[in-house]
Structure 1
Amino acid sequence: MNRKYIKYTAFGILGAIGISVSSCKKSFLELQPQGEFLESNYYSNPAEALTAVVAAYDPLVTETGGIDNTYSDPLGPLNSASDDTFAGGGSSSDVPQWQAINNYTMTPALGPQGGFWGINFQGVNRADVLLAKLPQVPGLSADLLKRYTAEGQFLRAHYYFDLVRLFKNVPLILTPLQTADVYKQPQATPEAVYAQIEKDLTDAINGLPTTVSATENGRVTKGAAIALLGKVYLYEKKWTQAASTLAQVNGTPGGTSGYGYHLQANFGAIFDPTNKFNSESIFELVHSGAQSYTWNNWDQFKSNIYVQMVGPRNYKGPIYYGGGYGFCPITPQLVTAMKGDPRYGYTIANIDSLTKATGGSYDQSYQGSGYYIQKYAPLLKNIVTTGLTDLNWPNDYIEIRLADTYLMEAEALVNGGGDAARALALLSAVRARVKLAPVAATLANIYNERRLELATEGHRWFDLVRTGQAPTVLAFKGFKAGVNEILPIPLTETLNGTQIKQNPGY
């Protein structure tokens, strides 16, 4: 008999039949594992239904796990794959998964794909189970059923959007699987996956609230679902749908939209942990620094470990970056691109110059340039007093923010031959926020603005791939056209008689 447990797991397709349930603590997504429950005995009341909703969100902020149970924060490999940063670290063998994508030497057995695949399919499974079980929960009101269902639909769409962008050829699983069925799942066409993503998001929009209370921060809203749908259309090159959908969340460029979004006056304030869920935040992934994590909490971290990863190694000086691990040092290409831009100092920390000027010191990273990420830097003012400093950074990650959706809409308008004046207004609003003069709303200028505005936020690699620039821009890292636009399927997913076929070139 197959006994499915609700617990903390981190599996790929071959193990994605368990789901995790965790309690709410301090805010909606500050999670702690609460033991195991037989799934057959769960979903017996509305409180348990909410706990299952929380569990479906959990993979969004999972920083350890995946198929190989390694450190799996998505920003590390995505930045390493781009021309924003190198992988860095202490040596060429430090976090080899990141080194492999940095150098484009990935194989089915080596690379970050295990984390991406395992965590996102864990999310898919939890959303599938949630959606299957919710209609049967005794005492769940119609309003809560509608909202929880919409959240499950959004989350499944989100996980599949990551999967199809990263792997292209993935199984499309929309119901909970029994063990005997796991090995029978074929890969769907990308078109079928995108169609399901569109359907889930379109359905979700109708059931989501426009706003949430402070205690629910981190839960998805109607604006977030609309923004993600617009982004999906952009990736599909459905320019008219992308522009009209994104316009709903953007409103009048430079003003306050109907969903309450407006650009922050201070660019640097966007990333300040004391300014979470600010007016520019459309979809934000919550990280808590208040859970007293130690290394005994591996596979449970909901703090932002990436902050620790990108700090300079053994830094000693007037601004706290101490104890960092030296990952993702900035490339000379990004330094050159941002020189003279008002966003430079909020994006890049010149640790080499700082230590020379102040008599400080640090250990250079592998492939280090002396420049490090500032947006997620481990700053003294953000240290919490519980647990190990390394493991308890409170910095959130704003996955979708208003400047991003402005630039996506501008791009869709230009590509689709839409309202040129509006495209210019959207681009100009992003530049005006940092006191830069307008430039023509050409694709080249919009792409460049995305690079400067969103540097090190995990968007650059996707942008280069989807716009066809990756083979040229990433040639210095070894990018191979026709192969590296997607990742290899993890080796473990193609063994033991599964129906999954390896991606071309791997």
Structure 2
Amino acid sequence: MKKSVKKTYLYLSLAALAALGSCTKDFLNKNPTDKISESTFWKTQTDADLALSGCYEFLCRGYNSTSSSNARGGWGGASMFWDGLSDDAFVSSTSNNFNIISRSGITSTTGGMQSEGYEISYQAIAACNKLIANIDRITSMSQQDRDRYKAEARFIRAHYYFLLTNLYGDVPLTLEPLGMDDASIRLGRTPKTNIIEAILADLDYASEKLPNTGYKGHAVRGSALGYKTKVLLTVKKWAEAAATAKIVMDENKFSIYQGGYRDLFRKPGQNNNPEIMFSARFLPPNMYSPADMMYSYLKTIQPLGYLVDSYYAIDGKDIKESTVYDAKNPYENRDPRLKSTIMYRGVWRGTTASSAFDPVAEGVLGGFLPRKYINESKWPTSYATQSDQDWVFLRYADILLMYAEAKNESAGPDQTAVDALNKVRSRADVKMPLVQFSGSLTKNEFRDIIRHERRIELALEGQRYFDLKRWGMIKEVMDKTKDPDGASRLFMARDTLWP
């Protein structure tokens, strides 16, 4: 499989300009990509804009049903599928073979996301390498502007290499456009440690050259520092991860959004949102989000009872221990994020009582659907439903939780780590009981608190699978997990890295 993927990548490295697209209507209308040629390109800032848009466009790939060129896997609006590989959700369809992967059936010929995660990533990397190598030819742009464009491309390249090495481990590393020479065609795998070094170098460059502002669609300094924190956390460089997250916190360009937890995941709440630090941005009809079509109409992802039961009661206790939990009314007196994230029986799917969700009538085996990323105004949905929700890859709540985790792992709990976690819990429409710091709080106890908070706060955002892997818990957890259809989720050690 990898050999054929490399051929695809090499072809794209030569033809990247012809593949440049956009997540935005303006670029698609201004400069048709079928009229671009190497001899006339790299002359003006308009060319640079189009090339950079081509790098960002890959973030939107995935299930855009009106365009065959975008009907591919990758991150994009399909990122909730990653939760289908964890104990948080069930993949109810054969979409991209996630259901096969989730049941330890992955092989080198599985296809779907097993191959497309590789292909899409290298297509994006090829576009980024092309821009980085050529933008200095546009002498009409200032050096500062050219450096900023390179920084955005290097950030996106780091984003994809991080995905690749998380999924496959050792992968081919190239930081320049490739040709059709023998050395390029036979490019071998690079050790994961070297991939991580290259990712961190890209993120350091990006954090130096990108503007230190809030996020409005283009990567900024905080985006790069946030990703660097996540990379360092993944490779267990705890002190460095904590220090990097602290820079983001101290520079005060982002904050916890107080306009409603649900509105982080739908428009207009996402517009200029102070918590969002990086996202795939959709603009119908040229590039629309598949959220309502996939998760509401097709019901491709169904949250599991394990996730639902993990939401505490409003007194901050597990439902098995809480005195305010009522098994006859199981969704009352619960962490408010439950109702914002999970669609359970009786929740309105649309804007009237007649749209109340009935899992039996709709054939939803586990009884739940996602509510996060769903827009009631789109109900009733269909295969043609076009949504505009941006997919959020990184937000400030994640920074705070990563800081708490890194501080705890490096030196045990302290007041700053507890305060960071409590900022997440004290969101205006959440207001869960705060963690109290005392000398008796142990590292293990605080670790459990942090991991639970990550599961709840970031539920159905494509994080749980990767968290379980980096915590070394994926096999332990998945071997105890069953899907609503009765199938077991046995996890084999070989599945830690994909073939």
What TM-score, normalized by structure 2, do the two folds share? 0.81
Supply the distance in 2 between the matched residues of 1:75 and 1:24 (Cα, whole angstroms). 17
Q: 2:303–2:368: 8 Å Cα contact kept in structure 1?
A: yes
CA offset at residue 179 of structure 1?
2.0
Indicate the larger mover: 36-45 or 62-71.
62-71
2:318 alignment counterpart: none
Q: 1:76–1:306: 8 Å Cα contact kept in structure 2?
A: no
Q: What do residues 51-72 of structure 1 show as CA deviations (whole Å, max 9, x unaligned)? A: 1111111111111599996455
RMSD: 3.1
Q: 1:470–1:479: 8 Å Cα contact kept in structure 2?
A: no
1:6 alignment counterpart: none
2:208 alignment counterpart: 206
1:44 alignment counterpart: 43
CA offset at residue 104 of structure 1?
2.0
Q: What do residues 414-449 of structure 1 show as CA deviations (whole Å, max 9, x unaligned)? A: 000066111111111111221111235711110000
2:273 alignment counterpart: 278
Supply the distance in 1 between the matched residues of 2:29 and 2:462 (Cα, whole angstroms). 23
CA offset at residue 165 of structure 1?
0.8
Q: How do residues 280-299 of structure 1 correspond to structure 2 at under 5 angstroms?
A: 280-291=275-286
Corresponding position: 1:411 with 2:405: yes
CA offset at residue 283 of structure 1?
1.1
Corresponding position: 1:95 with 2:107: no
Q: What do residues 175-213 of structure 1 show as CA deviations (whole Å, max 9, x unaligned)? A: 111123442111000000000001111111111012279
Figure out how many residues of one structure are paired with residues of the other and give that number: 442
Corresponding position: 1:75 with 2:79: yes
Distance 1:67 1:175, change over 3 A: farther
2:463 alignment counterpart: 459
Q: How do residues 55-454 of structure 1 correspond to structure 2 at under 5 angstroms?
A: 55-64=54-63, 70-73=72-75, 74-89=78-93, 94-95=94-95, 97-110=97-110, 111-180=112-181, 181-211=183-213, 217-251=216-250, 258-276=252-270, 277-291=272-286, 302-311=287-296, 324-338=297-311, 340-351=334-345, 368-380=365-377, 390-417=384-411, 420-433=414-427, 434-439=430-435, 442-454=446-458
- From 471, 474, 497, the equivalent of 1:486 is 497
Distance 1:461 1:408, change over 3 A: same
Q: 1:308–1:377: 8 Å Cα contact kept in structure 2?
A: no
> Residue type matched to 2:95 in 1?
V
Distance 1:68 1:448, change over 3 A: same
Q: 1:24–1:51: 8 Å Cα contact kept in structure 2?
A: no
Supply the distance in 2 between the matched residues of 1:194 and 1:133 (Cα, whole angstroms). 25
Supply the distance in 2 between the matched residues of 1:287 and 1:70 (Cα, whole angstroms). 16
Q: What do residues 462-493 of structure 1 show as CA deviations (whole Å, max 9, x unaligned)? A: 000000111111113434342122222xxxxx
> Residue type matched to 2:335 in 1?
D
SS of aligned partner of 1:101: helix
> Residue type matched to 1:280 in 2?
E
Distance 1:160 1:31, change over 3 A: farther
SS of aligned partner of 2:300: coil
Distance 1:366 1:481, change over 3 A: farther
Distance 1:29 1:450, change over 3 A: farther
Q: 1:23–1:31: 8 Å Cα contact kept in structure 2?
A: no
Q: 2:62–2:71: 8 Å Cα contact kept in structure 1?
A: no
SS of aligned partner of 1:205: helix
1:469 alignment counterpart: 473
Q: 1:347–1:373: 8 Å Cα contact kept in structure 2?
A: yes
> Residue type matched to 1:330 in 2?
P
> Residue type matched to 2:231 in 1?
V
Q: What do residues 211-243 of structure 1 show as CA deviations (whole Å, max 9, x unaligned)? A: 279xxx311011111111111111111111100
Supply the distance in 1 between the matched residues of 2:70 and 2:280 (Cα, whole angstroms). 23
Same amino acid, percent of matched pairs: 27
Supply the distance in 2 between the matched residues of 1:125 and 1:133 (Cα, whole angstroms). 12
Supply the distance in 2 between the matched residues of 1:447 and 1:30 (Cα, whole angstroms). 45
CA offset at residue 27 of structure 1?
6.8
Q: 2:83–2:465: 8 Å Cα contact kept in structure 1?
A: yes
Distance 1:129 1:157, change over 3 A: same
Q: 2:282–2:289: 8 Å Cα contact kept in structure 1?
A: yes
Distance 1:78 1:260, change over 3 A: closer
Supply the distance in 2 between the matched residues of 1:303 and 1:68 (Cα, whole angstroms). 10
Q: 2:21–2:28: 8 Å Cα contact kept in structure 1?
A: no
Supply the distance in 2 between the matched residues of 1:286 and 1:383 (Cα, whole angstroms). 23
Distance 1:286 1:334, change over 3 A: same
Indicate the larger mover: 329-338 or 446-455.
329-338
Q: 1:212–1:219: 8 Å Cα contact kept in structure 2?
A: no
Supply the distance in 2 between the matched residues of 1:30 and 1:455 (Cα, whole angstroms). 37
> Residue type matched to 1:437 in 2?
P
Structure 2 residue runs of 5 or longer lacking an equivalent are 312-330, 436-440, 482-487
What TM-score, normalized by structure 1, do the two folds share? 0.80
Supply the distance in 2 between the matched residues of 1:353 and 1:401 (Cα, whole angstroms). 27
